[in-house]
Every structure is written in C-alpha cells, then in structure tokens.
A and B are shown apart, each in its own frame.
Chain A
Amino acid sequence: MIIYAIYFAFTCFGAALLMNLWMIATAEGIGDRVLALDTMVINSIAILILYGLTQGTEIFFEAAMIIAMLGFVSTVAYARFMLRGNIIE
C-alpha cells in the first residue's frame, strides 16, 4: 500500500515540476520566474525525499538539506538583484 502512495506522490510532484517549467517558460514578468524557480527547488526536495523513502537510505536527506539551503540563498540573491541591481554592495 505504501508503494502505491509513493508512486502517487511521485506523479503529483513530477507534474508539479512540469507546471513550474511551463511557468518559467511563459511567465510575463521576472518576479513570476523567480517564484517558479523557488517552487521548483521545493518540489525537487520532495522528490528527493520520496526517492530516499523508496531506497531506504538516509543519504538523500543530507542532499535535500543542502538543496533547501542553496535554494533559499539563490532566491534571496535573485530578489536582491531585482531590488538593487547588484547582490553584494
């Protein structure tokens, strides 16, 4: 039963990633693109944890943690670039 639920969650988050890609390709403004990239990072964290669940290893949690930190820093850097035109003044 768990494995079917995992497949369902994989399908949902994979479809969510495709929607984010579509949003990045067709967005009107740069703010929507940054938002779609941030959502892509969060969805890929979910997919990594699901993959770790199927494999039964713990190593993917470390990767998910690193991706979470890098995604936050990169989104803040993009937003800062939109606001001020440079990142580190």
Chain B
Amino acid sequence: MDQIIEILIAACLVISGVFGIVGSYGLIKLNDPMSRLHAPTKATTLGVGGVLIASILHSMLSENHLSLHELLITLFLFLTAPITANFIAKAHIHRHETPDTLPPAGEDQKWATHDIPQENPAAD
C-alpha cells in the first residue's frame, strides 16, 4: 500500500513539473499576446494543483492523517486564475484594439472598456 502511494506521489510530481515547464515555455514561445495568455493561466495552474495533490498524499503517507488545507490553496488558485486572465485580456482590449477590430458587442453599442459614459447634465 505504501509503495502504491509513493508511486502516486512521484507520478503527480513528475506530471506537475512537466505542466509547469510547458506553461512557462508557452509564455515565451507563442507569438500572439492573447495566445500567450492561455499557457500560464491553464497549464501552470494545473501544475501547481498536481504539486498540492502530491503534498496531500505525502502527509497521508508520512503522518497518517488527512490534511486538507492544501486544498485551500488549490481552490484559491483555481478561482483567481480566470479572474487574472480576464483582467489582462480586458487591459489588452483597452490598449491595443479599436471598436472596429473587435467582433460586434451584441445589444450594446461597444465593448464596455471602450464605452465612455455620458455625462448626466441633470445631476447637479
């Protein structure tokens, strides 16, 4: 049983290391700023998740108790990575795109970051 858990820990660590290096290599390899956004936010987050799973299994193996506070970090990273990617993509739209180069915004006239709010003359 211990042997199986050791193999699982080693497999998790190796897989997460490969995911981490692929994420950061994609950051310098891909040639479009919005393509570069994909590599770190997905692959690197998954790599850190693998390390945390290995840490949970290691504490099960060595101390015979289940410690789940590693899952807090996993949950936090999985929650914040999409928010970060959304913010960076929004900043890219704001700085490098014009309303003509973007797809249509649906029922609004423009995408929100290009939409300059009208001054309300009645509010004085």
Select one of B13, B58, B84 contacting A72, CB under 8 A.
B84
Chain A residues within 8 Å of B37, by CB = 35
Give A84 to B37 CA distance when docked, in angstroms.
21
Considering only residues 12-63 of chain A, those with a C-beta below 8 Å from chain B are 12-13, 15-17, 19-20, 22-23, 29, 31-32, 34-36, 38-39, 42-43, 45-46, 49-50, 52-53, 56, 58, 61
Q: How large is the interface on B (under 10, 10 to 19, 20 to 34, 35 or more residues)?
A: 35 or more
Contact A12 B73 (CB under 8 A): no
Give A24 to B113 CA distance when docked, in angstroms.
26
Per the CB 8 Å criterion, the residue count for chain A at the interface is 47
Interface of B (DSSP majority class): helix
Name the distance in Å between B22's Cβ and chain A's nearest Cβ: 9
Which residues of A approach B to under 8 Å, CB–CB? 1-2, 4-6, 8-9, 11-13, 15-17, 19-20, 22-23, 29, 31-32, 34-36, 38-39, 42-43, 45-46, 49-50, 52-53, 56, 58, 61, 64-65, 68-69, 72, 75-76, 79-80, 82-83
Given A2-B58, A19-B28, A49-B51, output 6 extra A-B contacts at Cβ < 8 Å.
A6-B13, A13-B47, A32-B33, A45-B77, A72-B83, A80-B87
